Structure 1
Amino acid sequence: MNITLIVCVLAYELILILGVGYLVSRRTKKKALHNDAEFTHGGRQLGVSVIAATLALTVLGTPHIMGIFEMAWNMGATALWFSIAHVILLVITCLSTGLWMRRTGVNSVPQLLEDLYNPAIRVIVGCVMAGSIFGVLTLETQGLAILLSAMTGWNVHYSAVAGGVLGILYVVLAGIKEVGWINVANAVLMYISVILATLFLAFQLPNGDFSSVTNYYVNSGNEQMLSIFGPPELMWTFAFGLVVALVFSQPANQPLLQVCMSAKNEKTIVKALWIAAPVNGMFGVFICVIGLTAKSIPEFEALGAKTAATTMLVELLPGWLVTLLVGSFMAAILSSFAMTALAPATIFSNDIYRRFYNPEATEKEIKKVTRIVIIVLAVIAVVVGSFLPQILASVGWVLAWLMPVLWLLVSGLFWKRSNIGAGITLITVWVVNTLWSFTTIPQWLGMQDMPNSYVMLALTLIVGTVTNLVCPSRPKYFGSDEYDVKVLATTPKGH
């Protein structure tokens, strides 16, 4: 146990979190509390730097760090498709769904679905979306527990509790503004530390560069592991399957879209993309290089995929750099934890509490309810995450739940809106998704190697199109009288 490392990392996180949280909360209290969604959406006044950092770090959590370390070990540079898929996701979100959400002025995805369809669709999707986000929250809790356990020597249960406390503090003091400004500082730290770590690592290798790593894979007959274009079967099942799973589901998910809803205007979102995409994508490159390097060194290869990379970094890098690196890893996971706690809490406070129990709720009441739900969700996530369930094994199933939601958004905004068709599409895809993921149907059909995402995307498009054509429907939302009354008439000029 490195006491100095523990003290430095935890001191940095606590000082930054409590300091920023206090300052943002104090500034907010000095203003009138009637600002629109101040706690959950920052009064819709967040600037480019905050939006960019929060977009990048929201999807840069446990899978990007621990996941790419392990994936690089088993599939080489093909693991970079995990980062590529997220960059594509950010591009699509910032140039389409994120802009639509900001334009309509809603507080949540389910709220817009009620405007497009009916209250039942809002409630159903809200519950499902909150559940799927909670699954990710549990995964982020695991990441915090594993990182803290490795750093302190505590058992996973205690580490999960400590990580959960830090995650709650990251968001509960001042909401999304707190998350955003902490993210700006952490994004800078993250990049400085990971670049320095990669350079220092190269200097520790023979010849002072990564040529020995290249030689290891070439001489062992695994040269294909140095290319992002791996074996065809890996490209089909992992690379393209992952791109489809993320691109056709996550642009409709609350955590990323809540960041976009909080921007000053649509131009802010587009500008933020030019920072968020490179920050997110390039981080994966450095992590993949570190993972490949760990496997090429015999003493670390013997440790296995889960601990080789982190052990190598601790042993080969100077102490001050290890502190920076571990702090940046923890910051990335904490940011994802914060947004995956805030997003379902926002859905509850906006789509359940305000919509059905207290339509006249003030901003102060919404903030109180949101804070309570954040804490409750975090506590449950700590309890579940401390037992390290195999969440990653069902990630395809989790992502596929949102594919029909993205279809409902695109179809409703730009083509047709059928309440009956929407219900049929959701139920059909969700039932088939569960059967496909947890029964032997794929094996029975001889399609066991077919990624879940391909099947659910095809089913969504077919059922969604047919039901829209056959069932009674209304015209697209954009350009309709409803849109003119609800949005255009109440939107300030310049937004």
Structure 2
Amino acid sequence: MTNLPILDIAIIIAYLIAMVLVGVYFSRRNTSADEFTRAAGRIPGWAIGISIYATFLSSNTFLGVPGKAFGGNWNAFVFSLSMPLAAWFATKYFVPFYRSTEEVSAYTNLEKRFGTWARTYVVICFLSTQLARIGSIFFGISLTLQALTGYSMVTIMVVTGICIVIYTVMGGIEAVIWTEVVQGVLKTLGAVIIIYLVVNEVPGGFSDILRVGSAENKFSLGTVDFDFVQSSFWVVLLYGFFINLNNFGMDQNYVQRYHAATSATEANKSVWLCVWIYVPVSLLFFTIGTCLYTYYMQHPELLQSIKLQAASEQLGLAKNRAEVAQLAATMKPSDYADKVMPHFMVHMIPTGLLGLIVSAILSAAMSTISSGMNASATVFTEDIYKRYFNPTSTEKNSLKTLYIATVVVGLIGMLCGIAMIGVKSLLDVWWTLSGIFAGGMLGLFLLGLISKKATNKDALVGTILGVLVILWMSFSYLLPVQYDYLRYPLHANMIIVVGTLSIFLAGNISQKLRRQ
């Protein structure tokens, strides 16, 4: 590491070694697939709740949320406000359902309800979502550490990826959950330290921040008009509800934790604990973004260096100093927002604390990546390997498959992260990709859960129509200018909303037409 003091390097290395040792410690218990995937149901609800919170609070939140607040306003905070409603729905319907089935995979029951195709389809959607998520988080962590160390983003992804793979493979879900408990505390502490340091650097403190934020409309949650073309309050609220319902209701990352709890009551408590921690902490990250905006508006010379860096990276190798300066002069705050937090860390956080903050950001990435790797490996083993290749798999074979799948998912996730290098907004990329992939899952699951009379044929009709709608919404922007009237007119965050409702409603209409 070229730019960090020795003390900070020591703190980061100590943290990485500690995470690997946790995996080594829990590896002694991983004697079966059940131990690896749900820790034999012995984890207390409070630990699972902090674990779910840590999974939500990824590096996308740590870096992307302050970036959104810096480049725009608090519109994205409405996503957090939607969580209690989604949690209520999940604890009332989904958690009891999963605990009653005792199936470790969230998708096994879809085959019983609608047939093999339904299970396979949802598994493909889930794995695609996880790879996109893991990739975006690898990209986010490498973006920060590159600014701190000078190493290439690819090198950073490989080094951190190796550490994550080791403790996830060795320790299974139990290691993932207990490391996430530590990581949840660490990343929250990191956020508190950052906001204290930023406020301390602003001459007028919070009064200046409130004044600038109010004058620049930084605290706005978006227009409350029923406008679904731009990112209004209602667009983000609907998007948040459907995404969070997908997370709490059918994402293997969370379903697996419900099974790891000692009881259904403890599993429900874990969901609510996650919500009551995440909502105020996410508000803290939006506050950091507004604080950073105030600080850098008061220091234009520092802001100029960020613009030049962003312009240089955007132009790539084929650039000269004049072109970089010209592009930097035209940049809006949203064009370089994701680079502000790393810049502040490099220049304003004192030695020792910087190592702690970097460890917090590392923990934000590692908790979500390890969780996604474990969940993806479980889905692959249960829904693909044991379903199609080896239905009579022994415990030894299943455990070996889980190990191999975990490594493979980690490697593919790294490649996805490398492919994202150069994007402008980390949070926008993740929200768009998750909306596309998750939109096709939730509608089918709700159809099976709510519409008791819907058959395999109804579900197939609804899914085909829904997927066509999602493909149109996602890619119609590529149509030539003369076909503008055929383009999807609403905001991109509405893809999951319209996609979910398309599958659910088309399936119900098919059912009624068939019965008539």
TM range (shorter): 0.7 to 0.9
Contact 1:58 1:256 in 2 (8 A): no
Q: Does 1:266 find its partner at 2:264?
A: yes
Cα 1:448–1:380 change in 2 (3 A) is same
1:321 aligned onto 2:358: no
The structure-2 alpha-carbon separation of the partners of 1:317 and 1:397, relative to structure 1 and needing over 3 Å to count, comes to closer
Residues 96-136 of structure 1: CA deviation (Å, up to 9, x unaligned): 32332222111212211112222222122212321222111
Question: 2-side partners of 1:13 and 1:362: how far apart?
Answer: 36
Matched-pair contact (CA < 8 Å) for 2:454–2:507: no
State the Cα deviation string for residues 319-356 of structure 1 (Å, max 9, x = none): 23222222112101111111111222111101111122
Number of the residue aligned with 1:436: 473
Q: Quick check: 1:228 aligned with 2:271? A: no
1:211 matched residue in structure 2: 207
**Do structure 1's residue 409 and structure 2's residue 441 form an aligned pair?**
no
CA contact (8 A) 1:87 1:281 kept: no
Counterpart residue number, 2:499: 456
Task: Give the counterpart letter for 1:349 in structure 2.
Answer: T
Residues of 1 paired with 2:138 and 2:7: CA distance?
Answer: 21
Does 170-179 or 6-15 show the bigger shift?
6-15
Tell me if the contact between 2:110 and 2:119 (Cα under 8 Å) persists in the aligned partners: yes
Aligned residues: 464
The secondary structure found in structure 2 opposite 1:439 is helix
8 Å Cα contact 1:17/1:170 also seen in 2: yes
Q: CA RMSD in A?
A: 2.7
Asked if the contact 1:9/1:326 (under 8 Å) is kept, the reply is: no
Amino acid at match of 1:448: P
Relative to structure 1, the CA distance from residue 2 to residue 258 in structure 2 (aligned partners, 3 Å threshold; closer, same or farther) is same
Q: What is the CA–CA distance in structure 2 between the aligned matches of 1:455 and 1:247, rounded to whole Å?
A: 15
Does 1:467 find its partner at 2:504? no
1:300-449 aligned at under 5 Å gives the runs 300-302=302-304, 303=306, 304-388=336-420, 390=423, 392-393=428-429, 395-396=431-432, 398-414=434-450, 415-440=452-477, 443-445=484-486, 448-449=489-490
Deviations 1:235-256 (A, max 9, x none): 2575235324414533322222
What secondary structure is seen at the aligned counterpart in 1 of 2:68? helix
Contact 2:45 2:269 in 1 (8 A): yes
Give the Cα separation in 1 of the matches to 2:53 and 2:337: 26
Tell me by how many angstroms 1:145 deviates.
1.8
Of 415-424 and 191-200, deviating more is 191-200
**Is the counterpart of residue 291 in structure 1 residue 289 in structure 2?**
yes
Report the equivalent of 1:487.
none
Q: Residues 437 and 123 of structure 1: is their aligned pair in 2 closer, same or farther, counting only changes over 3 Å?
A: same
Q: 1:193 to 1:384 in 2, by over 3 A?
A: closer
The question of whether the paired residues in 2 share the 8 Å contact of 1:249 and 1:400 is answered with no
Match of 2:252 in 1: 254
**More displaced 10-residue stretch of structure 1: 376-385 or 326-335:** 376-385
2:9 to 4, 7, 19: 7
Three-state SS of the structure 2 residue aligned to 1:76 is coil
Matched, 1:72 2:80: no
Tell me by how many angstroms 1:417 deviates: 3.9
Q: Determine if contact 1:403/1:456 at 8 Å carries over to the other structure.
A: yes
Amino acid at match of 2:67: E
CA shift in 2, pair 1:71/1:256, >3 Å: same
Query: What's the secondary structure of 2:143's corresponding residue?
Result: helix
CA distance, structure 2, for counterparts of residue 25 and residue 472 of structure 1? 54
Q: CA 1:267–1:241 in 2, change beyond 3 Å: closer, same or farther? A: closer
How many angstroms apart in 1 are the aligned matches of 2:349 and 2:429?
33
Q: Is the 8 A contact 2:476 2:487 kept in 1?
A: no
- The alpha carbon displacement at 1:89 in A equals 4.3
Aligned counterparts of 1:87 and 1:153: Cα–Cα separation in 2: 41
| Offset of residue 359 of structure 1 | 2.1
Structure 1 contact 407–461 (Cα < 8 Å) conserved: yes
Alignment partner, residue 114 of structure 1: 111
SS state at 1:416 partner: coil
Distance in structure 1 (CA, Å) of the matches to 2:440 and 2:189:
40
- For 2:503, give the aligned amino acid: T
- Contact (CA 8 Å) 2:42, 2:260: kept in 1 or not? yes
Preserved CA contact (<8 Å) 1:407 1:464? no
Give 1:480's aligned residue.
Answer: none
Residues 70 and 305 of structure 1 are in contact (CA less than 8 Å); yes or no, is this contact kept in structure 2?
yes
TM-score of the pair, normalised by structure 2: 0.82
Q: Which secondary structure state, in structure 2, belongs to the residue aligned with residue 246 of structure 1?
A: helix
* Structure 2: unaligned runs, 5 residues or longer: 307-335
Question: How big is the shift at 1:173?
Answer: 0.9
SS state at 2:292 partner: helix
User: How far off is 1:230 after superposition?
Assistant: 4.8
Q: Which moved more, 1:265-274 or 1:299-308?
A: 299-308
Shift of 1:66: 1.7
Aligned amino acid, residue 287 of structure 1: F
Deviation string, structure 1 residues 436-458 (Cα, Å, up to 9, x no partner): 21114794157523432343243
Amino acid at match of 2:154: H
Determine if contact 1:49/1:184 at 8 Å carries over to the other structure.
no
Task: Identify if the C-alpha distance between structure 1 residues 91 and 68 changes in structure 2 by more than 3 Å, giving closer, same or farther.
Answer: farther
Task: Supply the distance in 1 between the matched residues of 2:120 and 2:468 (Cα, whole angstroms).
Answer: 18
User: How far apart, CA to CA, are the structure 1 residues paired with 2:465 and 2:430?
Assistant: 19
8 Å CA contact 1:418, 1:468 repeated in 2 = yes
5+ residue gaps in structure 1?
A: 474-495
Q: Is the 8 A contact 2:75 2:233 kept in 1?
A: no
